[in-house]
Structure 1
Amino acid sequence: MQRFLRRVAVIGGARIPFCRSNTFYADLSNLDLMTGALNALVDRYNLKGQHIDEVVGGAVVTHSKDFNLTREAVLGTRLKASTPGITMMQACGTSLQGGLGSAAKIATGEIECAIAVGSDTTSDAPIVVSKKLAQRLVKLGQQKTFMDRLKVFKGFGPGELVPSAPANAEPRTGLSMGEHAELMAQEWGITRADQDAFALESHRKAADAYRSGYMDDLVTPFAGVYRDNNIRLDATAEKLATLKTAFDKTERGTLTAANSTPLTDGAAAVLLASEEWATKHGLPVQAYLTYSQAAANDFVGGDGLLMAPTIAVSKMLERAGLRLQDFDYYEIHEAFAAQVLATLKAWEDPVYCKEVLGRAEPMGSIDRSKLNVRGSSIAMGHPFAATGARIVGNLGKLLSEKHGRGLISICTAGGMGVAAIMESKDAAELHQAA
């Protein structure tokens, strides 16, 4: 996709606090959380009773009853009921990818406004019965007499009652995302100390963001919760160093609960529009979405599961005519500290850049002081599908206050990555002129 034909404005985002799974949101569903985030956006931008051309989003961990989760959430909000709700899923890139699809429609004039939204809860993970029991239950519903129903359970054994526990393993490899990230850490030589230091920075930045009041208009209290409950104000390098490794129990292991994202419940939403729609509704523009890119790699064949964003960013920058260093902010989703650090190393590595990215020269390093300046997923938490909308909303606010250009990079399950560029008004106009 080339530069959007019409400028796509990011009006702003809103979200509910993110909470560690099985804590404050333990009794709530994805529908509850998504509806809460959408209503937070409605309140922030005075959208009550208004028609939005489309709301696109979804969740990763869902029940079969959530076949169109987004539409059901829309119907539970104060938006006009004529607002369509579209459910999609691309793992951790869900709400960013949903927003980019809507942005393309805004750019071509098909729609004028949209909301991207994501929600996830692992507190309410679906428990699946055994396949044999499921087949019996289906057959049971087809019987007409009591005796026929009784015959369905002939040969039934207690083992059929054992449910299939939820798992986050990759279907193609049987390894969890954390196990894949551990392999990446070992391949790229990412040390435990570097990961812990990175995680500590994430907590410090997130705590400062709350302390300064920066988060006040981004996070709306919900269900009696006022802020993310994963941020560790008392974290120290010494405390982090005492944790046991989580995915590789041998002496080679480096990933811990502290330098990885926790299982998290929460939801986030972001409002996108054409400039004309924003002006008509008296809403200031925070920033513009200007480029995007999705990519995938052969993680089954040996590529790192979470390395696809390196490819997406490289392709996107080539089209945009930009260097990796041409950004004032970098929002790289912290699935794991090791994943971010491996990504940064890969862009600096001449062999990787030549063989994987097809570049004659390495992309180079970035100014780390510009990376995730208000904290990110390790500290705030990571409700899978919600992270993209959280990042877009955060970067929009940063660009409205400080101006410049921002890069988004999100890794996802399945060996995929989603990237985007956002620019403040002055930066977008300068880039367009060039």
Structure 2
Amino acid sequence: MRKVAIIGGQRIPFVKSFREYNRISNQEMLTACLSSLVRQFGLEGRRIGDVALGALLNRSTEWNFARECVLGTTLDPHTPAYNVLRACGTSLDAAIQIGLRIAAGQIDTGIAGGSDTNSDLPIMFSQQFAWKIVALRAAKSFRERLKILASFRPKDLSPLYPSIVEPRTGLSMGQHTELMVKEWGITREQQDALAYDSHIHAAKAYEAGFFHDLVFAFKGVEKDTIVRPDTTPAKLAALKPAFDHSGKGTLTAGNSTIYTDGAAAILMASEEYAQRQNWPVLAYLIDAESAAVDYVHGEGLLMAPTYAVARMLKRRHLTLQDFDIYEIHEAFCGQVLCTLKAWEDADYCKKLGYDTPLGSIDRSKLNIKGGSVAIGHPFAATGARILAQTAKTLQERGGGRALVSICTAGGMGVTAILEH
């Protein structure tokens, strides 16, 4: 098996939805990221082994989305591409798939990425409307078409908006996380403290120039717009609960990710190919794991990474403390804190196959360049953003090992280990 290198990443600034990127499509955003990678690494006219891209909020007409993004760049048009989809873990899963193909010797290079926008939503009409339109198109006679036209009703034109709720429970991710933080006894103050750290870390990283070669200007936007360097614990404490209005809710707009538009992509290669191209390696993708929980019957919706990490640790003969960096996706600060507390719980860890708790982590090593609450969370782009950010952090510090963990809708989780 060959070593899988992460060479570099490019992303557009992440922005609050319905603002700077209004009417800009996923394809346009992600094509821009690919083009920036091409320029950065001199890939013009070159064939890449494979490209795996994804977007959650995509139109059904964009069934060849990844390939169209590639054809919008100056890459050799002989470069293949395919769509990937695993909710918020999409671009991390895309990188894992590309990494496996590189490790197996099938390809030398690959690109993984993702994009999402709430500002260009694929609005649909009702299924009844769609059926009637299909029938109208298939009608053989004028009389048949008139009959179908007469069957249309105003309610058929009611638009259907994409909704971030779990079909089997009818609850949103935020509502599910409210259940989790109540189960694990996570306080509002703890969640706000993590949110504060996320913003301060991201702001300091920007001040230090950390993002200068990871984020490029797009549509007049030069940096992430969600980071709040001036936030304070008092400002976060003043926000009202966003999901549970009973007076007992603890999740707010301040300690949860907000709707975000953005895209990100990373370039990967075998170690040997990187050496031949004189590409500096940021980090190596060492291992990965995916998992799911039975949230329909009581398990926490966003707790699947606890299982995935436990399996990876056992397979690699590592402990939870054997990491220099922890990048845990902050879908909600409460979800991160539930995960950390579960690893400290003896009874819970028995479900993970351990006789003793996995234990605590050094919180000073957690999301040290800012997490999703501060930077933003365009669903399918988050994995690629985290991988590039983590790989560069390892490279800057001169070595180490990083744990990456992303929870997803549907009660799933995707995790990975990086080393430099």
Same fold (TM over 0.5): yes
Are 2:106 and 1:106 equivalent residues in the alignment?
no
The 5 A counterparts of 1:156-167 are 156-167=152-163
Question: Does residue 133 of the first structure (1) align with residue 132 of the second (2)?
Answer: no
Distance 1:29 1:84 in 2: 21
Amino acid aligned to 1:107: A
| Aligned residue runs from structure 1 range 264-413, under 5 A | 264-354=260-350, 356-402=351-397, 403-413=399-409
SS of corresponding position for 2:33 = helix
User: TM-score, normalised on structure 2?
Assistant: 0.98
2:54 is matched with: 58
Paired residues of 2:50 and 2:81 also in contact (CA < 8 A): yes
Q: Distance in 2 between matches of 1:166 and 1:94?
A: 17
Distance in 2 between the 1:55 and 1:362 partners? 39
Give 1:276 shift.
1.5
Shift of 1:258: 0.8
1:250-292 superposed Cα distances (whole Å, 9 cap, x missing partner): 1210001110001111000111111121112121111111111
Q: Distance in 2 between matches of 1:344 and 1:375?
A: 17
* Structure 2 residue 226 is the aligned partner of structure 1 residue 226: no
Matched position secondary structure for 1:182:
helix
Match in the other structure for 1:240 = 236
Aligned CA-pair RMSD: 0.9
Residue 300 of structure 1: SS of its match in structure 2?
helix
Q: CA deviation at 1:128?
A: 1.2
- Please give the alpha-carbon distance, in whole angstroms, between the structure 2 residues aligned to 1:331 and 1:233: 20
Give the distance between the partners of 1:39 and 1:210, measured in 2 at CA: 23
Whole-Å separation in 1 of the counterparts to 2:13 and 2:118:
15
What is the CA distance between 1:352 and its match in structure 2?
0.6
Partner of 1:432: none
Aligned residues between the structures? 419
Deviations 1:41-61 (A, max 9, x none): 112212111110000020011
Q: Is the 8 A contact 1:15 1:41 kept in 2?
A: no
Inter-partner Cα distance in structure 1 for 2:113 and 2:134:
34
Q: Distance in 2 between matches of 1:93 and 1:78?
A: 28
Distance 1:47 1:390 in 2: 21
- Structure 2: how far apart are the matches of 1:223 and 1:47? 23
Unaligned 5+ segments in structure 2 are: none
- The residue type paired with residue 324 of structure 2 is D
* CA distance in 1: counterparts of 2:250 and 2:9, whole angstroms: 35
CA deviations on 1:67-111 (whole Å, 9 max, x unpaired) are: 121111000012111111110100011111111111111111111
Match for residue 187 of structure 1 among 183, 190, 195:
183
Conserved 8 A contact 1:53-1:83:
yes
- Structure 2 CA distance, aligned partners of 1:103 and 1:165? 35
Aligned partner letter, 1:48 = E
Alpha-carbon distance in 1 for matches of 2:383, 2:147: 50
Mapped to 1, the partners of 2:6 and 2:375 lie a distance apart of 22
Counterparts of 2:178 and 2:121 in 1: how far apart (Å)? 25
Residue 376 (structure 1) shift? 1.1
- Displacement after TM superposition at 1:406 (Å): 0.5
CA distance in 2, matches of 1:116, 1:235: 33
* Secondary structure of residue in 1 paired with 2:393: helix
Shift, 1:6, TM fit: 1.2
Q: Tell me the distance in 2 between the aligned counterparts of 1:68 and 1:413.
A: 23
Greater CA drift, 360-369 or 271-280? 271-280
Give the whole-Å Cα distance in 2 for the aligned partners of 1:43 and 1:288.
22
